[in-house]
Amino acid sequence: MKWYPLLFNPVYQEIIWGGRQLWRLMGREVPYERTAESWELSSHPKGITTVANGPLQGKTLSELIRIDPAGFLGKDNPEAIFPLLVKIIGAQRDLSVQVHPDDEVGRKHGVPGKTEAWYILSAAENSRIIYGLKPGVNQERLALALETGELLSCVNEIPVQAGDFVPIPAGCIHALGAGILVAELQQNSDTTYRLYDWGRTDAEGKPRPLHLQEGLEAINCELPLPVSFKHSREEGLLFDDEHFTISWRRVQGTRQIQAGSSFSIWTVVEGNGLVAAGGQEAPLVQGSSILLPAGIGETTATGEFSFLLTLPSIRSIN
């Protein structure tokens, strides 16, 4: 199989907190009045993306795996299901305060766990996120706050800016604030336990359901807060988890990149450029993601852009 850089057709999701305004910052016209998410690269049943370019146009990730498992995923990768999911999220309004379970808690409920990370592409003035528990908040205090609707007294509100990198391990309570556009790299999971939803209602005037019992079980009260969400903007590792790693990379001019032992995903966070391999070229702009199969060989990147390099973790392979 002659592999080449793969672009995918995004699948847009409409959610109550979405809108159109933030997507225009990336030059996108979106299909829904409350467009909230663009699933850029996904094999999840709720949003299956297909190849947008080249001879494999129209193929899903699952179909690509069946064509050549080792050449696509990597010879040491046993996954039969694509393990990662890439999104762009545009928060026109505050997201619900929520938590995702780890694999162990997820198994108890018959759902996959979900660790993720955000890169802030754009943030309105005075934007903030909710992240983690305040010092001294234990399971008992948290349970009482959930019962009485006083959860906000237990969490941190942290200002963010474009260029911040926010790791969100499973078990971390969090919420994206209004006016923020992020790239999200995550496990292939849509498991979310909603804990607080700002008192809003859906189109029928009904509050969205909360998942307090499951959420309380999933929250890890011992997670430490990161020292900072800023990073050096120098090439290097940003995130190292048992499921995937994320590194910051930059192309200035022309750069030759040799394929590794597994597939890789590039998500452009600044600038634009072109990637070429296998007789095919693929353009890249801010917010776009491209998948390089394990068997692609040498790739040539040209332009001026920075990107997140996401790889399946060696620990998840062995």
Task: State the catalytic residues.
Answer: 194
Cα gap 255→266, rounded to integer Å: 14
- Residue indicated by tokens 């190292």: 240
Comparing CA positions, the residue from 120, 129, 127 lying closest to residue 162 is: 120
- How many other C-beta atoms can be found within 10 angstroms of the C-beta atom of residue 41? 25
- Residue indicated by tokens 């996954």: 79
DSSP H stretches of helix in 163-211: none
φ and ψ at residue 216, rounded to 5 degrees: -60, -40
Cα gap 151→162, rounded to integer Å: 27
Cα gap 47→309, rounded to integer Å: 22
